Amino acid sequence: MTSSPKQVDLTINDIEKRFGVIGKQPATCPHHGEYASVIRKNADRASGCPDCADKARQERDEEEQRATYARIVEQRLERKLGASLIPKRFMGKNFADFRAETAAQKANLAMCIEYAETFPQHLEEGRCIVMTGTPGTGKTHLAAAIAGFVIVNHNATAVYRTVGGLLQFIKGSYGDRAEYTEAEAFASLVEPSLLIIDEVGATKPSEFELATLFSVINGRYEAQLPTIVISNIDAKELGAVLGDRSVDRLREGRGIGLVFEGASERSKRRAS
């Protein structure tokens, strides 16, 4: 039941006068009933319904809160993507960009999409992927697409390293002036939800390289965390450049092996 105009308080107190109120008049809101419309000095018109104004302020505040939260989420995502260390050339790669023309390419694409979409299950089981085959056939593209998908859609962490970059990173922990310890370096490689190791077998491995790669892969194996290994050599030769013990750990638990064949996409682009 709405109040009558006579019940609306039209008096002006001293505090209101100090804030420029020079008058009040009865008014009616179709949603909240009658109210005192305030007239202020130098104002073009009297004030509207205070309840409507409060509701509008509340809606603005809520919208600002949603926008702030969205910005925070976006900034966190950008930091996670940046922390992945995926090269700029591959940062924006996704599954839709991958050119799958042959049956084998389509099968590899489908497997990578399935792996990314059901990553929580593969994470739980520590299932790894080994990508081998011809250079320039999209191995790094699909690995980067998997990393980007699991970061965005599964709130996972992913780190990309070439073998050379991984070794340099570990060596960077040596010496009195190192900014991080060897334990911290290994932890940053062992702890992410997903680790991508690229360019395996690009050079003849040293004992240090084999030992370091085993330490990383074995650490993730013991923590039951998935690793993606990328190499341009034949899968049968992987043990020689990665170590048989490392290969065994990657294959355990129904590890996935993907073979990439065909002409290099980079060569195709240069020829066109």
Burial status of residue 257 (CB atoms within 10 A of its CB: 0-12, 13-18, 19 or more):
middle
pLDDT of residue 79: 54
Residue by residue, pLDDT tens for the chain (272 residues) are: 444 444 788 888 888 888 888 888 888 888 888 888 888 888 888 888 888 888 888 888 888 777 666 565 555 545 554 456 676 676 778 999 999 999 999 999 999 999 999 999 999 999 999 999 999 899 999 999 999 999 989 989 999 999 999 999 899 999 888 888 999 999 989 999 999 999 999 888 899 999 999 999 999 999 999 999 999 999 899 999 999 999 999 999 889 999 998 766 544 554 44
pLDDT of residue 146: 96
pLDDT of residue 180: 87
3-state secondary structure of 167: helix
- Nearest of 92, 137, 143, 103 to residue 256 by alpha carbon: 143
pLDDT of residue 31: 87
Helix 139-154 × helix 50-83 angle, to 10°? 150
β-strand partners of 34: 28
pLDDT of residue 63: 81
pTM above 0.75, yes or no: no
DSSP for 193-259 reads SEEEEEEETSSPPPHHHHHHHHHHHHHHHHTT--EEEEESS-GGGHHHHH-HHHHHHHHTTT-EEEE
In sequence order, what are the residues at sequence separation of 6 or more whose Cβ sits closer than 8 angstroms to the Cβ of residue 155?
A: none
CA torsion angle for 94, 270, 228, 181 (degrees, to 10)? -100
- Nearest of 88, 114, 62, 54 to residue 258 by alpha carbon: 114
Q: Which CATH superfamily is 84-271 part of? A: P-loop containing nucleotide triphosphate hydrolases (3.40.50.300)
Query: Distance between CA 95 and CA 113 in Å, rounded?
Result: 7
pLDDT of residue 271: 45
pLDDT of residue 270: 45
In sequence order, what are the residues at sequence separation of 6 or more whose Cβ sits closer than 8 angstroms to the Cβ of residue 26?
A: 5, 8, 10, 34, 35, 36, 37
pLDDT of residue 81: 47
Q: How far is residue 156 CA from its own chain's centroid? A: 7
Q: What is the domain partition of the chain in residue ranges?
A: 5-48, 84-271
pLDDT of residue 131: 97
pLDDT of residue 67: 67
pLDDT of residue 16: 83
Burial status of residue 249 (CB atoms within 10 A of its CB: 0-12, 13-18, 19 or more):
buried
Reported as type and span, the H/E element at residue 142 is helix 139-154
